[in-house]
Structure 1
């Protein structure tokens, strides 16, 4: 084995170990079922509105353009630009982050990540559970923590809707370790009830699943016609086979 290949293998091993360490550092909370449906256009429209109002100030969607959103979600370009565009961007532009970079670094230490592919990387269930797992933690710089992503550097963007969750802590597994979070209790309700909040989180998750792969909408529609075509083709081939073999039998 050449020295070059040994260096490449070492780099791959380092990357794998780094990924494993990052995963190990995350929470072990059981993921909830998002139950998102890309065919639910009303949910996608609500999710787009909620995302733009509560998430776009910190997180961009650089792979999704306003014009594409309008076409896919059954909205006019005027509706999108008047109701979902808070940055003065053009209709053909990708969805940018509203917060200036300097302000983001001041508040969070770095620019919050783009969320275009978060649903494809993490999965819809992770996104859904993450948005339901914030709790107050006075030990964190911004006063919030998350059971799915411990020590997340962001507050709960939906706290006004959900309310204030507090952690029910257990006994530390060993001296010096943080106590485990056994459960979350909602001690100060938000401005919507639990069912409405669950639906709102599901709508945002649904929208982010769409944003990660807008072509999935067309693929689902085409899939029905492909299945029907294959069924018809199978029937035709069966008739051909029957006609071909009738003299043999």
Structure 2
């Protein structure tokens, strides 16, 4: 099926950091190619407050784009927001979520305390605004779930993005009201465990993403990633779920707008 008949959502990308060499530096040419390949919505993710104005501007000027505000758990030497500041920045019609936030013990195991403190501020902001939380978690299953339970107080929903953890974590997160977002990693040769997890999870709780400009799916692995490559993620997930690609696109699009319900299609 041609991707032109699809209406795909890239639920997590970094448009402000894309490599535009293939488009001679022309961002609008990239956006045109993205639309031509069936991607109708993109969520541009904030990773620090210093670059957030650019992320917000992209959402203001591109009708297909929405934004989030947050500080990535691996970005240490940046401005540290509290919940009140995040809440203020999220008071914008195109800012539809809090994050990217979370815990990464794979790359920063020795920095647990400050990661947890920052994560809690984001959880509080999501709780008090009612906006979904975009969570990065790696090697931190128990603490991620514990902090969501303790500080979310049953009022925080969101997504575990670029999911690579185990099925048990995914199922516990789903019980807490979270969605699970699948990136191009699912297409990698060594990702059999992740494919088994995706096959077992309810499709009504799945999203798809690129995390562009990183983690390009097969057959683009090793190249700069782009939002239009989310079609390859959709094809892989559809095969795992035994669904036509168009049906998988429809379901994950509906899931996205159900979760990010401040966003207007």
TM-score, normalised via structure 1 length: 0.23
Give 1 or 2 for the bigger CA radius of gyration. 1
Q: TM-score scaled by structure 2? A: 0.22
Higher relative contact order by CA 8 Å / sep ≥ 6: 1 or 2?
1
More strand by share: 2
